[in-house]
Amino acid sequence: MTEQEKTQAKLLILERIAELKISLEHMVDTTKVVEPSVSLGRLTRMDAIGMKAVNEHVMAVSKNSLVRLENALKRLDEGTYGICIRCGEDIPLGRLEHVPEALMCVSCTEKRNKR
């Protein structure tokens, strides 16, 4: 990986981290407890509880993605970014552009997912 590619990867990762942090800030309101309210009917309250659960799941996935991206930044600084943890080969740049937190190349990921 060239220095220019490393710089581009770092910018992409930092951009995605910033987007996730903004998104997580907004999700806090959507995961608040649904208080019993006179103005909500039973079905409306159930819908609100259902949406809260969906938003909690999205928030958990976003937090997980944030941790993975922060780990990718560490690997970039350590010089191990873009190297498959399974086979040791370089991860193609196209994959890293779409999944900057990728730990494995496509081939190793497919092999792992077949199990």
pLDDT reading at 27 higher than 70:
yes
Q: Is 20 a residue whose pLDDT tops 80?
A: yes
The model's pLDDT over 56-111, given as tens digits with 9 standing for 90+, comes to 999 999 999 999 999 999 999 999 999 999 999 999 999 999 999 999 999 999 99
- How far, in whole angstroms, is CA 12 from its chain's centroid? 13
Mean pLDDT score of the chain: 88
What residue segments make up the domains of the chain, in order of their start? 3-82
- Does residue 41 carry a pLDDT above 60? yes
Q: Which residues contact 48 (CB under 8 A, 6 or more apart)?
A: 34, 40
Contact (Cβ atoms closer than 8 angstroms) between residue 8 and residue 19: no
User: Is 70 exceeded by the pLDDT of residue 51?
Assistant: yes
